[in-house]
Chains A and B, each alone.
Chain A
Amino acid sequence: MAGIFNFLASPSRFRRLSERLYPYTIFLMVLFLILGLWYGIYSSPPDYQQGETVRIMYVHVPAAWMAMMIYFSMTLMSIFSLVWRHPLADLLAKESAPIGAMFTLIALVTGSIWGKPTWGTWWVWDARLTSVLILFFIYLGHVALIKLFDDEEKGSKAAAILTIIGAINLPIIKFSVDWWNTLHQPASVMRLDGPSIHIDMMIPLIFMAFAFLFYYLSFLFINTQAELYKRRVKKIYLQNLMRKEK
Chain B
Amino acid sequence: MSNQLTYVFFAYFFTFFVLIILAVKSYSTYLANLKKFKKFDINVKK
Tell whether A110 pairs with B15 under 8 Å between CB atoms, given A222-B30, A229-B34: yes
The main secondary structure of chain A at its interface with chain B is: helix
B14 nearest CB neighbor, chain A only: A109
In the complex, the answer to whether A240 meets B44 with C-beta atoms within 8 Å is yes
Size bracket, chain B contacts: 20 to 34
In the complex, the answer to whether B8 meets A55 with C-beta atoms within 8 Å is yes
Residues of B within 8 A of A232 (CB): 37, 40
In the complex, the answer to whether A226 meets B29 with C-beta atoms within 8 Å is yes
The main secondary structure of chain B at its interface with chain A is: helix
Tell whether A219 pairs with B36 under 8 Å between CB atoms, given A56-B11, A236-B44: no
Name which of A76-84, A98-106, A140-148 contacts chain B. Answer: A98-106
Residues of B within 8 A of A99 (CB): 22
Residues of B within 8 A of A215 (CB): 19, 23
Known contacts A56-B11, A240-B44, then 5 further A-B pairs from the complex at CB < 8 Å, ordered by chain A residue:
A223-B29, A226-B29, A226-B33, A229-B34, A236-B40
By Cβ-Cβ distance, the 7 closest A-B pairs, closest first, are A229-B33, A226-B30, A52-B4, A229-B37, A56-B11, A110-B11, A59-B15
Chain B interface residues toward A at CB < 8 A: 1, 3-5, 7-8, 10-12, 14-15, 18-19, 22-23, 26-27, 29-30, 32-34, 36-37, 40-41, 44
**Interface CB pairs A-B, < 8 A, 21:** A41-B12, A52-B5, A53-B4, A56-B11, A59-B11, A63-B15, A98-B22, A105-B18, A106-B18, A109-B14, A215-B19, A219-B23, A223-B26, A223-B30, A225-B33, A229-B30, A230-B36, A233-B33, A233-B40, A236-B40, A237-B40
